[in-house]
Copies of this chain bind each other. A is one copy, B any other.
Amino acid sequence: MAHAAPHYNRGMKFKVTHREKRARAGVLETAHGKIETPVFMPVGTLATVKTISPEELRSVGAQIVLSNTYHLHLRPGEKLIKRAGGLHQFMSWSGPILTDSGGFQVFSLGHMRKVTNKGAIFQSHLDGKRVVLTPELAMQIQRDLGSDIAMVLDDVVGYPATKFRTKEAMVRTHAWLERCLLGPRLKHQAVFGIVQGGMFPDLRLESAQFVSNQAVDGVAIGGLSVGEPRAKMNEMLDLVEPVLPTNKPRYLMGVGAPIDLLEAVERGMDMFDCVLPTRIARNGTVWTKRGAVNLFNAKFKTTFKPIDKACQCYTCQHFTTAYLHHLLKEREVLGIRLTTIHNLHFLLELMRGVRQSIRQGEFAIFKRRFIKEFGA
């Protein structure tokens, strides 16, 4: 039950230790421990990374977990989690936690909200209750949750979007950023600003410059991976990267496809999160070095070997593909646990390889080799 008391850093420390062109390897120190970057953060929306335990999370190599302000505000509520001793203690995860601000939910639950300069007005997806999420409230919730890294509230637009709407959202995001920085937070809690600007180069650049000049501990790139072509995302990253501070971590939000991660690391990004590995796992899709495969496929019925015999994850060390196929078909919980473990391990191993290759000045080779086998 008990956790070692965090050694409060009074703010976060970040150091880039190695570079290969724009790609960076570094170390991020938080109140709950060090994180090696580039890092992928598994998503634990409701104070649990779906289907797996904190122990398993650690065993697959997770260094930090992301959790969701919006969802936890609605249920069980940040006040309850505060009474439980904070989110770390509530979910029994003693490592670092980043909390998003709810900004992305304002976007993804679009039909149920209205955004004004004051904040986002939601209808709760649970009971229809009206919730006004202001920048100040987003910060207060995250303070109560006690995360190591809090995100500012932002206004996210989809793809495609008009320039008018995109600019409005960007201006609002900037105003909210300033309010968030004046809002409540824990002494040791880092705050990341978020760059918006949609797919408009001038707006993206303006936003990147604005956020980079604020007293933030890190800079996040929001509003990408919202349906645009991959080339468009890379173009936006190429554009903003030279503007971003070199001494602060850069977090590309909502990206978790292996190739996207490699492209973004190449463009100087340090942190990532996405539900992709865990969500596709629950649909029976697993990643292998040769790309994704769906284990529901009848051809796996008699595959009496692991997904990947070189893989060191618990799943591949103990179970055959035929057994996983059986469990998935029978809707047995163990099936989606084992695919989740495999996918997270796969992605976190990929990131370990990425870090190592940057340290050795071989990231470009690493990336080319991976894509050649995995497929683009």
Point out residues on A near B: beta carbons under 8 Å.
Answer: 1, 46-48, 50-55, 75-76, 80, 83-85, 90-92, 301-302, 304, 306, 314, 317-320, 322-323, 326-327, 329-330, 332-334, 336-338
Chain B residues within 8 Å of A54, by CB: 318
Q: Which residue of B lies closest to A92 (CB)?
A: B318
Contact between B318 and A76, CB atoms less than 8 A apart: no
Are B83's CB and A302's CB within 8 A?
A: yes
| Contact (Cβ within 8 A) A330 B84 | no
Beyond the given A53-B337, A90-B322, A90-B323, please list 4 additional residue pairs across the A-B interface where CB-CB is below 8 A.
A1-B320, A85-B304, A91-B323, A333-B337
State A76–B301 Cα separation when bound (angstroms).
Answer: 8
Judge whether A319 and B76 touch: CB under 8 Å: no
- What are 29 A-B residue pairs whose CB atoms fall within 8 Å in the complex? A1-B306, A1-B317, A1-B318, A1-B320, A46-B326, A46-B327, A46-B332, A47-B323, A47-B326, A48-B327, A50-B332, A51-B333, A51-B334, A52-B334, A53-B314, A53-B334, A55-B314, A75-B330, A76-B301, A76-B329, A80-B301, A80-B322, A83-B302, A84-B320, A84-B322, A90-B320, A90-B322, A91-B323, A92-B319
CB of A309, distance to nearest CB on chain B (Å)? 8
Contact residues in B for A332 (Cβ distance below 8 Å): 46, 48, 50
Quickly give the copy total for this chain.
2
> How far, in angstroms, from A302 to B85 measured CA to CA in the complex?
12
- Shortest distance from the beta carbon of A187 to any chain B beta carbon, whole Å: 24
Q: For A314, what are the chain B residues with a Cβ–Cβ distance below 8 Å?
A: 53, 55
Contacts of A304 in B (CB 8 A): 83-85
Please, which residues of chain B bring their CB within 8 A of the CB of A336? Answer: 333
A84 to chain B, nearest CB (A): 5
Q: Chain B residues near A301 (CB, 8 Å)?
A: 76, 80
Contact A334 B80 (CB under 8 A): no
Please give the distance in Å from A1's CB to the nearest CB on chain B: 7
Chain B residues whose C-beta falls within 8 Å of the C-beta of A334 in the assembled complex? 48, 50-53
Residues of B within 8 A of A317 (CB): 1
Within the complex, the shortest CB–CB distance from A321 to chain B, in Å, comes to 11
Residues of B within 8 A of A75 (CB): 326, 329-330
Compute how far the CA of A47 lies from the CA of B304 in the bound complex, rounded to whole angstroms.
Answer: 15
Instruction: Determine the distance from Cα of A318 to Cα of B50 in the docked complex, in whole angstroms.
Output: 17
- Nearest-Cβ distance from residue A323 to partner chain B, whole angstroms: 6
Q: How far is the CB of A272 from chain B (nearest CB, A)?
A: 23
